[in-house]
Amino acid sequence: MGHGLPVELNCLDGPVSTIDFESARRRMVERQIAARGITSPRVLEAFLEVPRHLFVPPEQRVYAYQDGPLSIGLGQTISQPYIVAYMTDKLALQGDEKVLEIGTGSGYQAAILSLLASEVHTIERHPELAELAGRVLEGLGYDNIIIHQGDGTQGLPEQAPFQAVIVTAAAPLVPPPLLDQLAEGGRLIMPVGGRGGQLLQLYRREGGEIRREDLTPVAFVPLIGEHG
Ligand code: SAM
């Protein structure tokens, strides 16, 4: 996909500048993701490919490759690139998985997952965000992502089981339906905790048991729904 053309931007207090988004993306991958220990070539390749600037509102594009989260409207955010990469890496996708994401937001995380798995189902509770993400993903030609609008805390029983589940909004507990819909050998990652801050937790279903690993502190917007 050719998204690397220089784009002209009018700066309020200076001359027109030219931003090479492809170079900015390469720097993001090198300095924010690889330098912090993510080494999987497939994961790094996916971050090099997906044009993050097209998933943020036009006025935020200039910041798209910076080392932090950005606002996408309706009080919601697109997460910091490193956190998206960290969570993706922990799912250890091989390419043949059916993945469930809760919290489509901008659609950026879904785009990354779609390059690493065979099918991505993503659920967003805000109809406006679901629709906008759908338009961006369709425009960019991602054809293995299915967006569902609704309460993601219920999961998608009709599509279960999933080899990987990623929740990109926080709650005090993992919604039980999501663990129920995890396949044998599957992995689920989610920020768990209160509104002040959470811990990323990784769950694995192994031999009929669910094992939990505590990872790193994070701050996510809340998961709002029946099991949120
Ligand atoms: N993954 C997104 C991306 O790549 O842009 C970022 C997600 S943002 C941090 C969290 C999203 O979860 C918000 O868009 C919010 O509306 C959504 N959300 C919160 N509760 C939800 C629920 N019960 N079901 C589905 N989406 C939910």
pLDDT confidence tier of residue 18, bands split at 50, 70 and 90: low
Q: Is 223 in the pocket of ligand 1 (CB under 6 A)?
A: yes
For residues 201 and 190, the answer to whether their CB atoms sit within 8 Å is yes
| Average pLDDT taken over every residue of the chain | 92
Nearest to 96, CA basis, from 42, 171, 53, 50: 42
Q: Which CATH code for domain 67-218? A: 3.40.50.150
pLDDT at residue 30 greater than cutoff 70:
yes
- The yes-or-no answer on residue 79 being catalytic is yes
Rounded to the nearest angstrom, the distance between the alpha carbon of 117 and the centre of ligand 1 is 20
What is the per-residue pLDDT for 6? 44
Nearest to 60, CA basis, from 76, 49, 72, 68: 72
What does the pLDDT look like over 156-212, one tens digit per residue?
Answer: 999 999 999 999 999 999 999 999 999 999 999 999 999 999 999 999 999 989 999
Task: Average the pLDDT over 48-62 and give the result.
Answer: 96
Rounded to the nearest angstrom, the distance between the alpha carbon of 15 and the centre of ligand 1 is 37
- 153: Cβ–Cβ under 8 A, 6 or more apart, which residues? 102, 171, 175, 177, 178, 223, 225, 226, 227, 228
The residue from 23, 71, 79, 106 that is catalytic is: 79
Task: Average the pLDDT over 5-9 and give the result.
Answer: 42
Q: Is 105 in the pocket of ligand 1 (CB under 6 A)?
A: yes
Three-class SS state of 223: coil
d(CA 67, CA 79): 10
What is the per-residue pLDDT for 125? 97
What does the pLDDT look like over 110-157, one tens digit per residue?
Answer: 999 999 999 999 999 999 999 999 999 999 999 999 999 999 999 999
What is the per-residue pLDDT for 12? 34
pLDDT confidence tier of residue 15, bands split at 50, 70 and 90: very low
Task: Average the pLDDT over 61-87 and give the result.
Answer: 96
pLDDT confidence tier of residue 11, bands split at 50, 70 and 90: very low
What is the per-residue pLDDT for 43? 98
Please state the pTM of the whole predicted model. Answer: 0.93
